[in-house]
Amino acid sequence: MMVAGERSGDVYGAALACQLNARISDLEVFGCGGEAMRSAGVDTTVDLHQIALIGILEVVSGLPRAYAAMRRLVRESARREPSLAILIDSPSFNLRLAKRLKRQGVQVIYFVSPQIWAWKKWRIKKIKACVDKMLCLFDFEEEIYEKAGVPVEYVGHPLVDLAGPRHSREEFFDRAGLDLCLPTVALLPGSRKTEAIYNLPTMLDAAARLSSSRPIQFVIAAAPTLDPSWLESIVAKCNVEKVTIRTLSRATHDVLEHCDVAVVASGTATIEAALCERPMVVVYRVSSFTAVCARALIKVPFYSMVNLLAGKAVVPELIQDDFDAAHVAAQVATLLDNSEARHQMVRGLRKVKSRLGPGGAIERAAEAVVRHLQLVGASINGG
């Protein structure tokens, strides 16, 4: 059984399913995922959109469908009796699911550790009670779980292998209909509709401000979970018809590789930008109510994983009230005009890259899964 509730988890789950298929003959994988996992042969009895929730208010409104998804997965587990469940990220959903699966006697491996070092530290008790093995992406997480008595293995970050452009700079600009000679700013508003609704209009306002003072162009990297035409409908409402903006789908790695500066919604995309050594401005906004609740829970000095890994402010963070068009435009202008600021940021991003592992994270995760199955006596043939 494999359960992913977000786009990044769907991508990691698909890659992991492929690696497990190469090692275990007659493998059957079912659970929750999206397009990537389905393409890898996973029987997604539940689609990840049913459990992909963000923000207090959205979580409350989405609870009925999330609970329906939970019940269906628990029923499927009881019917199919999996040898193992691999739960990927999405801790609000997956830790609850893990508890129910343990009642059925299912072994649980958790891939992509919940960020207990940032908030909700009490989750470690739940993890210890219902997770048989934690596979973590960041080196510092291993010690946290070892001290808590949770079996753990550090495998590194899958994006080290998955990130990378498909096209040369010339090919990319030609396909995008952009001017190869103009400064290019990437806009990454997030992978969920709620994120784009909160983040994209301010990004576009900043784009208009920058366009009024210099020749420049912009490209929106549409996450596969978002319809590009829907994003373009937001653009059409934001009075930026004089700004050169292109919207590209399934091209995030190319966009980050070939742009000059990126404005990135805090999340996995900041890691992708760091791997490309791309100067960036990290932004994020949620509802006012969610923001108040989050401030009471978050106990780390930074929001972005890039700065957390660096242990200092390598990239600027414009969060909530600080996230306005004037601040974004000013930060982007500095990175475009000040070569020393760019080079200093790139040096910091290179150090962050070194914290993400040497590559091969999915292969190491697959080997850890196989070893665990062998340890608990599951039948494995071939591979």
Q: What pLDDT digit, counting tens, does each position of 291-312 carry?
A: 555 555 555 667 788 998 888 9
pLDDT at residue 6 tops 80: yes
pLDDT, tens digit (0-9, with 9 covering 90-100), for 332-341: 999 999 999 9
Which has more pLDDT, 204 or 59?
204
What pTM was computed for the model?
Answer: 0.85
Determine contact, residues 348/310, Cβ cutoff 8 Å.
yes
Rounded CA separation 192/224 (Å)? 10
Write down the CATH superfamily of domain 169-356.
Answer: Glycogen Phosphorylase B; (3.40.50.2000)
**β pairing state of 184-188 and 152-154:** unpaired
Closest CA to 142 of 128, 156, 131, 126: 156
The secondary structure of residue 116, as a DSSP letter, is T
| Domain ranges across the chain | 2-156+360-375, 169-356
Closest CA to 221 of 180, 265, 179, 183: 265
pLDDT at residue 67 tops 50: yes
Q: What is the mean pLDDT of residues 196-204?
A: 97
pLDDT reported for residue 300: 61
Task: Give CA separation, 332 vs 88, 89, 283, in Å.
Answer: 34, 32, 12
Task: Give CA separation, 109 vs 89, 101, 234, 348, 377, in Å.
Answer: 11, 11, 40, 33, 15
pLDDT reported for residue 56: 42
Rounded CA separation 122/292 (Å)? 20
Q: What are the φ/ψ torsions at residue 9 (nearest 5 degrees)?
A: -65, -35
Q: Could you tell me the sign of the dihedral formed by the alpha carbons of 1, 359, 268, 205, in that order?
A: negative
pLDDT, tens digit (0-9, with 9 covering 90-100), for 122-134: 889 999 999 999 9
pLDDT reported for residue 382: 46
pLDDT reported for residue 7: 87
Asked whether the domain spanning 169-356 has the same topology as the one spanning 2-156+360-375, the reply is: yes
Rounded CA separation 238/227 (Å)? 18
Class of domain 2-156+360-375: alpha beta
Query: What SS3 state is found at 248?
Result: strand
